[in-house]
Amino acid sequence: MQALFDLAHQTGKVVYFDKGAYIVTSTINVPNDLKVTGELLSIIMATGPYFGDEFNPKVVWKIGNPGETGTVEISDLMFETRGPCPGAIIIEWNIKAAGPALAGMWDAHWRIGGTAGTDLQQDKCLKTPATPIAGNNPVLTQCLGAFLLLHVTPQADGYFENTWGWVADHELDLDDRQQIYIFNKAGFLIESAEGPVWLYGTAAEHSVMYDYQFVNAKNVFMGHIQHETAYFQGNPNALVPFTPQASWHDPDFSDCTKANCARTWAVRFVNSSSIFMYGGGLYNFFENWNTQACLGTESCQERMVDFRNSTDIYLWALSTKGSQFMVSYEGTSVVPYSVNRANFCETVALFELASEQ
C-alpha cells in the first residue's frame, strides 16, 4: 500500500482500491496532493500488535505531515479494525488545504466491529447485561476497538462531508444480529488551531469517552451532527476499560457526583472558540442495554455537552435525548431537559456562549 501511494504521488495518478479488505499492520503515510477512492466502500483494516498499546498509540493512515499544505481527497472507503487495536489512531489528519475544501473526505466512514472479518462479533462480544463487566471479564480484552477514529492536528484544517464513525452496537453478519460490546476509546478529536474545519453531515457513535472533542480549536462549522452514547454504559461506565490520559485531553470525570455521570460525552469544547453548529441530535437510549430503566425519566445520563474554558460557541437547533441536563458548563450541569421538552427530544433553538452580546 505504501509503495502504491508513493508511486501515485510521483506520477499524479488517482489511487483506486478495488472492492475488498486491505490489511494494514503499521503506519501508512498518505502523501499530499493525492486522490484516493474505493469501490463500494473498500475496507482499510488495521490489525496486529503494532496497534496494541493505548499508552503508545500509533497511526494507521497518516494524512500528510504537520506543516504541509496541499490537496488530499479521500472518498468511498471504510476504515475498520481486525481484533483488538486499543492503540490505533485510524486517521491522523495533518494537511492544511491549499484552498477552500481542497483537503477533505467524502462518503468515507469508520466501522469498528460487528462485521465478518473483524474478529469483533457476537461469538466473542455478545451482550451480558446481568453480568458485571469488570475485572477479568474477557470482553474487556477481546472486544477492544481503536484508540481514536480521527485526529485533526493543530496545524491542519479539512472538509468532512457524509462521514460516519460507527462503533458497532450490534452484529451485522452472523445470525440473529445480537447486540454486542465494542469498547472504542474515542471518536473525533479536532485540534485545528486556525481552521477552518467543516463537518457537514457527520456522525460519531458509541465510543467510550467522547464522540466529538474540540481542543484549542477555532473556526469550526458543524452542519447536522449525530451522537449516541455507548449502549452498555452503566455496566461499565466511561472509565472502563481505557485510562484517561491528560496528554490526550481525555475527560477524567473527576467532577462526577451521580451514578449516571460518567457516560460518553457527545461533544466537548476545551479551550476553543468560534465554533458553530447548525443542527445536532445527541442521544442516549440505554442504561446497561435497557431502555426502560432510564428513557422515560430522561435519566440515562446526567449531561451531554461539555464546555471548558471556551467562548464564542453557538449551537443552533440542539436536541438531546435521555440526558437530565443538555449542557455542562465548567463542571456545573445547566439547561435541564424538563423545561426544554419538544416532541421526542429536548430542544433549544440556540445555546450561545459568547464573549460579547
pLDDT at 283: 99
pLDDT at 299: 98
Grade residue 60 by pLDDT with cuts at 50, 70 and 90. Answer: very high
How does pLDDT run across 287-318, given as a tens digit for each residue? 999 999 999 999 999 999 999 999 999 999 99
Task: Supply the mean pLDDT for the chain.
Answer: 98
CA distance 139 to 128: 10
Contacts of 284 (CB under 8 A, 6+ apart): 228, 229, 263, 264, 294, 300, 301, 304, 321, 322, 323
CA distance 22 to 199: 27
Determine the residue type at 19: K
CA distance 353 to 68: 33
Is the pLDDT score of 10 beyond 60? yes
User: CA 314: distance to chain centroid?
Assistant: 21
2-353: CATH topology: Pectate Lyase C-like (2.160.20)
Evaluated on CA atoms 109, 113, 116, 117, the torsion sign reads positive
pLDDT at 355: 80
Is the pLDDT score of 356 beyond 80? no
Is the pLDDT score of 7 beyond 70? yes
CA distance 5 to 64: 12
How does pLDDT run across 150-163, given as a tens digit for each residue? 999 999 999 999 99
Task: Report domain extents, the chain.
Answer: 2-353
